[in-house]
Copies of this chain bind each other. A is one copy, B any other.
Amino acid sequence: MSVVITAFERSPDGGKGLARDTRVRWALEEVGQPYEVRLISFRAMKEPAHLRLQPFGQIPTYEDGDLALFETGAIVLHLAQSHSGLLPEEANARARAIGWMFAALNTVEPPILDLVVAKFDEGDRPWAKERLPLVEDRIRHRLVQLSARLGDADWLDGAFSGGDLMMVSVLLRLRPSGILDEFPGLAAYVVRGEARPAYRRAFAAQWAINAAAPQAS
């Protein structure tokens, strides 16, 4: 029985790799696990069959035999704890690497997602232009701190880990805004992540689907 994940039939980003299935694909590639993808439409995501797998109507999901999981962080952590390649062996280093996964998802990503909301969900509201700098400054506040911690290191805590996989994935969302490039150390960190063969395979796999699909107009 093979691993099956779900992904957008047509990703809203048109193949930029920002949909969360890319994070799971990347993790699967890092640990060397083959997988199949079940593509799902926006309509099907809100239907009972998918809601049984993912109560919030999102992608990705993960199925492996009897196990069904949702939440990208949980899927990546499960892969990292079940296979070698994404977490150090030593117990304390392992706990710290998992800590960076949570930091990426809980401390760094929320203000970045607020930028998506500000630009897309609220972009036509009367306050959009005046509010945007506040949202951007909350992101910069976190990036100053993250950049200080990373310093000159290649990765956040020793060797590349699932924490870096998640942090790079989160920071990638920022590139279109230009804010990432205000932090050259972090921009270089993201480039290091993207250069990993496992990331390249993951990116190419989602691109093959999304570049082939006609985009919703």
**Which of A51, A57, A68, A74 has the largest number of chain B CB atoms within 10 A?**
A74
Contact between B106 and A106, CB atoms less than 8 A apart: yes
**Which of A68, A126, A127, A142 has the largest number of chain B CB atoms within 10 A?**
A127
Chain A, residues 81-93, CB within 8 Å of chain B (1/0): the string is: 0000000000110
**Which of A105, A106, A149 has the largest number of chain B CB atoms within 10 A?**
A106
Choose one: B72, B102, B148; the contact of A55 (CB below 8 Å): B148
- Judged by a CB distance under 8 angstroms, whether A2 is at the interface is no
- Judged by a CB distance under 8 angstroms, whether A130 is at the interface is yes
Interface of A, helix, strand, loop or mixed by DSSP: helix
A44-91 CB contacts (< 8 Å) to partner B: 51, 55-58, 66-75, 77-78, 91
- Judged by a CB distance under 8 angstroms, whether A153 is at the interface is no
How far, in whole Å, are A149 and B78 apart by their CA atoms in the complex?
22
Contact between A56 and B142, CB atoms less than 8 A apart: yes
- Judged by a CB distance under 8 angstroms, whether A179 is at the interface is no
Q: A71-B102, A95-B67, A113-B110 are in contact. Are A55 and B127 (CB under 8 A)?
A: no
Contact between A56 and B98, CB atoms less than 8 A apart: no
- Judged by a CB distance under 8 angstroms, whether A99 is at the interface is yes
- Judged by a CB distance under 8 angstroms, whether A33 is at the interface is no
How far, in whole Å, are A117 and B177 apart by their CA atoms in the complex?
21
A-B contact pairs, 30 of them (CB 8 A): A51-B145, A55-B146, A55-B148, A55-B149, A56-B107, A56-B142, A56-B145, A56-B146, A58-B107, A67-B91, A67-B95, A67-B96, A68-B96, A69-B95, A69-B99, A73-B106, A74-B98, A74-B99, A74-B102, A77-B102, A78-B95, A102-B105, A105-B105, A105-B106, A106-B109, A110-B113, A114-B114, A125-B131, A126-B130, A127-B131
